[in-house]
Amino acid sequence: MRQDRTRQDRTCQDRRLALVTGAHRGPGLAIASALAQAGVQILLGCRSRERGHAAAAARPEGAWMEPVHLDVTDDWSIAALRELVRREYGRLDILVNAAEVALDARDDLLPRERFERSFAVNATGAAAVTEAMLPLLTRSEAPCVVNLLAAPGGGAPAYLASKAALEALTRAEAARLKGLGIKVNGIRPVSLPGPAGLRATAELARRYALLGPDGPSGTVAMAEPLALAG
């Protein structure tokens, strides 16, 4: 394992390194795969180690993906991952906050529980991970943070409220971190059924994760209609 890690460390000096939260399924996994296919080294942040290893095993051919344990509601878990990244890689180029929960259909939860749990993952969790990773992001030549927001539409109060908070956080963090050269943007998932929507969302995230020094910050991006038609 140490021999493999040393090889990976050398490779990481020439390739960008990304942490994607909620990366074992859905948009998180699709975004991680799109970035990996673009040559980015991916840390798959997953609360379940088993699901993380399963996601890594299904990676595209030639892609570099490593599962890492991360519970965005647990400060100890976040701190432990920050230390691992610092020790093994020395920096972080891209952070994609894609961990999310949708609990509005959970009849076994009281309204207060649905809102508190939704905010804990969808908004507070993203804020905590971003803050923890700042020392590593500042070591990158082109650090980018991409937050996964809500798709257009309505009907899920706890989910939408927590994602609205994440959108506000995106704009606030973009302003706060401008002086550090860190770009912070939000993307809205593409409302297309099945794999087509995931692919379009992943492509949008890839574009904003790989922004250069002159790219935008503090924006909320949606896929262009022509891109969806293609």
224 — pLDDT class (breaks 50, 70, 90): low
Q: What does the pLDDT read at residue 97?
A: 98
Is a pLDDT exceeding 60 seen at residue 1? Answer: no
* pLDDT score at 59: 78
Q: Which residue has the higher pLDDT, 63 or 73?
A: 73
Does 94 score more than 90 pLDDT? yes
pTM of the complete model? 0.91
pLDDT for the residue 24: 92
Q: pLDDT > 90: what percent of the chain? A: 76
How many C-beta atoms surround the C-beta of residue 208 within 10 A?
A: 23
Q: Is the pLDDT of residue 173 over 70?
A: yes
Q: How far apart (Å, rounded) are the C-alpha atoms in residues 219 and 197? A: 21
Cite the active site residues: 159
Residue 85 corresponds to which tokens in the numbers above?
């990244």
pLDDT tens digits, 102-123: 999 999 999 999 999 999 999 9
Q: Identify the residue with better confidence: 157 or 152.
A: 157
- Phi, psi angle pair for 119, to nearest 5°: -65, -35
Amino acid at 132: A
Question: Above 60 in pLDDT, residue 8?
Answer: no
Q: What is the pLDDT of residue 53?
A: 86
pLDDT at 229 over 90: no
Query: Does residue 11 have a pLDDT over 90?
Result: no
Residue 12 pLDDT grade (very low, low, confident, very high; cuts 50, 70, 90): low
Q: Identify which has the larger pLDDT, 155 or 54.
A: 54
Q: Which residue has the higher pLDDT, 11 or 51?
A: 51
Q: Which of 50, 49, 25, 23 is nearest to 41 (CA)?
A: 23
Which run of H or of E encompasses 147?
strand 144-148
The stretch 205-227 carries a mean pLDDT of 86
Confidence class of residue 228 from pLDDT cuts 50, 70 and 90?
very low
- What pLDDT is recorded for position 118? 98
71-88 confidence digits (pLDDT tens)? 999 999 999 999 999 999
CA distance 189 to 186: 10
Please give the distance of CA 47 from its chain centroid, rounded to a whole number: 14
Q: Which of 37, 28, 39 is nearest to 68 (CA)?
A: 28
